[in-house]
Structure 1
Amino acid sequence: MDSSFNSPELQNLLEQEKQRALVNEMVAKLTSACWDKCITGSPGSKFSSSESSCLQNCAGRYLDMSILIMKRFQSMP
């Protein structure tokens, strides 16, 4: 077996790509969920103040829950 597959540099690169994929997945889910909840009509050139506030609150709660869930899984044996 080629030892370059076990190199620390390759392992580090793979871990970084895995983290990047997880962040991209989270952003896509957050965008979809918050958009569906907060944007009820056809969007104009700008969000209304209520849409903007809703999006900010939704994104904040989504991130808070994601962090809470990740911490919970990390603490499991």
Structure 2
Amino acid sequence: MAGMENSQELQRFLEQEKQKAMISEMVGKLTSVCWDKCITGSPGSKFSSSETSCLTSCAQRYMDMSIIIMKRFQSM
């Protein structure tokens, strides 16, 4: 009985680790996708206002998608 308990905990742990890995991968993709999309010139010490708003909306859309994906995983 105790062995069964441990394997379920291990399973849960592995699922969480897999989700963390996916999240960090998504953050990495988000960064490069939004950067490529929004930063047009060579970046100075500050982003222009159009770059800032582009990055913000790009990140927001990405976060919305991430939440949808996470909810789908949790409902499995």
Task: Establish whether TM, by shorter chain, passes 0.5.
Answer: yes
Residue 64 of structure 1 deviates from its aligned partner by: 2.5
RCO comparison, higher one (Cα < 8 Å, 6+)? 2
The Cα RMSD (Å) is: 2.8
Who is 2:43 aligned against? Answer: 43
Who is 1:21 aligned against? Answer: 21
Normalising by structure 1, we get a TM-score of: 0.71
What percent of counterpart residues are identical? 76
User: What residue ranges of structure 1 are gaps of 5+ in the alignment?
Assistant: none
> How many residues are matched?
73
Tell me: CA distance 1:9–1:72, structure 2 relative to 1, closer, same or farther (3 Å): closer
Normalising by structure 2, we get a TM-score of: 0.71
User: What residue ranges of structure 2 are gaps of 5+ in the alignment?
Assistant: none
Spell out structure 1 runs of 4+ moving beyond 2 A: 62-75
Q: What is the CA–CA distance in structure 1 between the aligned matches of 2:13 and 2:70, rounded to whole Å?
A: 22
